[in-house]
Amino acid sequence: MPKCLKASRENKCNGCELCVLESQRQIGKVGLEETLIRVFRKSSKSSEYPQYKLEIDPRMNSLDIKKIKDICPQEVFDIEEE
């Protein structure tokens, strides 16, 4: 079964973008162009802390997603079977 990366605990994301940097490293790109994962800050006036939303391109699943899962300090990701 193919594995896929799921942002199961997106609400814990602190916006550090380490997952973005790791995915860029794996595809040999520098900077934030054409990233396979994107981190957006949600505009929320009701919350004291910033909230983030993650967008994961399905092509991400061809990378070493375990490394991406493991690099996240907030344990946002799970690896699931598709």
CA atoms within 13 A on the CB side of 81: 1
Q: Which of 82, 37, 76, 29 is nearest to 57 (CA)?
A: 37
- Is residue 16 within the footprint of ligand SF4 (CB under 6 A)? yes
Pick from 1, 3, 6, 14: which binds ligand SF4 (CB under 6 A)? 14
CA angle 55, 61, 65 (to 5 degrees): 90
Please report, as residue ranges, which positions from 24 to 53 form the binding site for ligand SF4 (by CB under 6 A). Answer: 39, 52
| Main-chain phi, psi angles of 61, to 5 degrees | -70, -5
58 vs 73, which CB is nearer to ligand SF4? 73
Q: Which of 5, 13, 36, 60 binds ligand SF4 (CB under 6 A)?
A: 13
Q: Which residue has the tokens 């946002």?
A: 76
- CB nearer to ligand SF4: pick between 58 and 75: 75
Q: Which residues bind ligand SF4 (CB under 6 A)?
A: 13-19, 39, 52, 54, 72-74, 76
